[in-house]
């Protein structure tokens, strides 16, 4: 994807905070994440000890399963994240808060076990769990302590998430086509004239604006690259070997 800093978006370097990716259904945000994660997995700068963890409540075939085989229970997740660079988890909507909380706590545990490890945690449909007035304790912990534990949170939502705990930890936003009322809310909350970009996004399908919240700059991006349908990441060895290094 042209001119988008993949490392800045996904790598927990200890300096940049989390990212928010928002856009209406069909605007291209999931395609963008799949395409950029494929690039990140193949990027040597992430290293063999980095783990990409994707939680997708949509459980939609033909999306993130292009990157990794989906898992449905916590035991399989724990085994996969120790052995594989990329893990896709399809949670049960009935127990989604419990399962997401377990995953976050498990990443904190693994981070304490091995100081060489780092994680990118992608949570799709994040608005199911995060609202302006409510956020699970585990995600609040992730927002506050994730950077110190080398865990980079990337939240996706059809409408931009506005929550005081995540707001204070956001380093960048990738906004696709969103509702007019959302542009207004974001402009008032961040002091950035987001609505000026709305027409540009409507003119070019699947394009988006990358907002650098640290530098208060915006970068219009070209339409997203289509994911490689034949892409399957190679396993990089067992986690235990990493712990023995």
Q: How many whole angstroms separate alpha carbon 142 and alpha carbon 104?
A: 7
CATH number of the domain that 63 lies in? 3.40.50.300
pLDDT bucket at 238, cuts 50 / 70 / 90:
very low
State the pLDDT at residue 180.
Answer: 84
Distances, alpha carbon 124 to alpha carbons 23, 29, 101, 111, 160, in Å: 12, 10, 14, 22, 12
Q: Where are the alpha helices (DSSP H) in the chain?
A: 6-10, 29-42, 74-83, 96-113, 137-145, 164-167, 180-190, 198-203, 239-244
Residue 138 lies in a domain: yes
Question: Model-level pTM?
Answer: 0.90
The range of the structural domain enclosing residue 46 comes to 6-244
User: Residue 203's CB: how many other CB atoms inside 10 A?
Assistant: 8
| Residue 21 placed within a domain | yes
pLDDT band at 3 (very low <50, low <70, confident <90, very high): low
Q: Give the pLDDT confidence of 194-222 residue by residue, as tens digits.
A: 777 777 787 788 889 898 888 778 888 88
In a domain, 128, yes or no: yes
Whether 1 is in a domain gets the answer no
Is the separation of the CB atoms in 242 and 48 below 8 Å? yes
Residue 184's pLDDT band (cuts 50, 70, 90): confident
Q: Is 187 part of any domain?
A: yes
225 belongs to a structural domain: yes
Q: Is the pLDDT of residue 161 over 80?
A: yes
Between CA 120 and CA 152 the distance in angstroms is 5
Total domains in the chain come to 1
How far is residue 114's CA from residue 119's CA, in Å, rounded to a whole number?
12
Q: Minimal CA–CA distance to 174: which of 13, 54, 46, 8?
A: 8
Q: Are 140 and 165 in contact (CB under 8 A)?
A: yes
Please give the pLDDT value at position 227. 85
Are 130 and 170 in contact by the 8 Å Cβ rule? The answer is: no
Mean pLDDT of the chain: 87
pLDDT at position 206 is: 82
The residue with tokens 């034949």 is: 230
pLDDT classification of 102: cutoffs 50, 70, 90: very high
Tell me the per-residue pLDDT of 115-151, one tens digit each, with 9 for 90 and over: 999 999 999 999 999 999 999 999 999 999 999 999 9
């Amino acid at each position: 994807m042209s001119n988008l800093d993949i490392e800045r978006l996904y790598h927990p370097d200890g300096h940049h905070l989390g990212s928010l990716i928002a856009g209406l259904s069909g605007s291209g945000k999931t395609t963008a994440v799949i395409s950029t994660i494929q690039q990140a997995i193949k990027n040597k700068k992430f290293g063999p000890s980095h783990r990409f963890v994707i939680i997708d409540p949509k459980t939609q075939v033909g999306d993130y399963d292009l990157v990794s085989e989906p898992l449905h229970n916590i035991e399989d997740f724990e085994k996969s994240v120790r052995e594989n660079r990329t893990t896709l988890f399809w949670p049960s909507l009935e127990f989604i808060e419990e399962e997401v909380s377990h995953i976050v706590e498990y990443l904190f545990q693994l981070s304490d076990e091995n100081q060489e490890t780092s994680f990118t945690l992608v949570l799709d449909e994040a608005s199911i769990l995060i609202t302006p007035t409510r956020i699970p304790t585990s995600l609040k912990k992730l927002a506050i302590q994730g950077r110190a534990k080398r865990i980079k949170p990337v939240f996706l939502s059809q409408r931009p998430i506005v929550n005081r705990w995540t707001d204070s930890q956001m380093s960048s936003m990738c906004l696709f086509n969103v509702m007019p009322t959302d542009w207004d809310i974001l402009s008032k909350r961040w002091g950035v004239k987001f609505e000026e970009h709305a027409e540009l996004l409507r003119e070019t399908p699947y394009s988006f604006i990358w907002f650098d919240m640290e530098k208060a700059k915006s970068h219009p991006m070209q339409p997203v690259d289509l994911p490689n349908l034949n892409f399957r990441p190679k396993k990089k060895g067992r986690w235990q070997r990493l712990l023995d290094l």
